[in-house]
Amino acid sequence: MNATEQLAAWIQESSRIVFFGGAGTSTESGIPDFRSAAGLYQTEQHSPYPPEELLSRHFFDQHADIFYDFYRGKMLHPDAEPNGCHHLLAKLERLGKLHAVITQNIDGLHQKAGSSHVLELHGSVHRNACMDCKQFYSLQDIIQSKDVVPRCTSCGGVIKPDVVLYEEELNQATLYQAIDALSSADLLLVGGTSLTVYPAAQLITYFQGKYTALLNATPTAYDHRADLLITEPIGEVMKSVDQLLA
């Protein structure tokens, strides 16, 4: 039995699956990750500001125009489509097998594929709000805004994406839901994440179930604790698993 067949067998026998994913989940959808050789942090090395600075709360407050230039140019991918990973997870939820997707991504591709129980640790580009009156704005509102810094049509306040920037805390309610889902899962699928971003990466230590399958292109500090390691592209692997389950 190869690794893909083993993963399919575990999925078949499990009833409370949780998926914990990161940027690598969406690279096959055309969205660059952050830390790989072709990732966002590598391609931005010639910028006068490092990405960690550009994506910090203090930088947003002081230089919203530069932030939005970077954000619109590098982090918004409205035409991206879900890949095999997103589609299989949505299917497993419909079958009642998958109980939560816990994602560090902000792209909304899990929902686009049909998943409904998605815990977005770092927020979403699809939610935006005026910092003063809290009026909601969509991703299209941000893209179509003629202002460098989008402003509220009601009060003129600055609109901020609902994404967790450096120096900001994760939503506590989302964290508690993630912990609850992981604590009660019988199979943990970890995909497309280097497990280096904290506190998010620490969440998987709450899993006490039967098997952990780790699907990531590069080694992680968690590899020795996984029951199954797969380094092939996650979208293709999950597409193959889907075919085995059919």
Which residue of the set 87, 99, 122, 126 is catalytic?
122
122 is catalytic: yes
Reduced 3-state DSSP string for the chain: CCHHHHHHHHHHHCCCEEEEECHHHCHHHCCCCCCCCCCHHHHCCCCCCCHHHHCEHHHHHHCHHHHHHHHHHHHCCCCCCCCHHHHHHHHHHHCCCEEEEEECCCCCHHHHHCCCCEEECCEEEEEEEECCCCCEECHHHHHHCCCCCCECCCCCCEEEEEECCECCCCCHHHHHHHHHHHHCCCEEEEECCCCCCCCHHHHHHHCCCCEEEEECCCCCCCHHHCCEEECCCHHHHHHHHHHHHC
Catalogue the active-site residues: 122
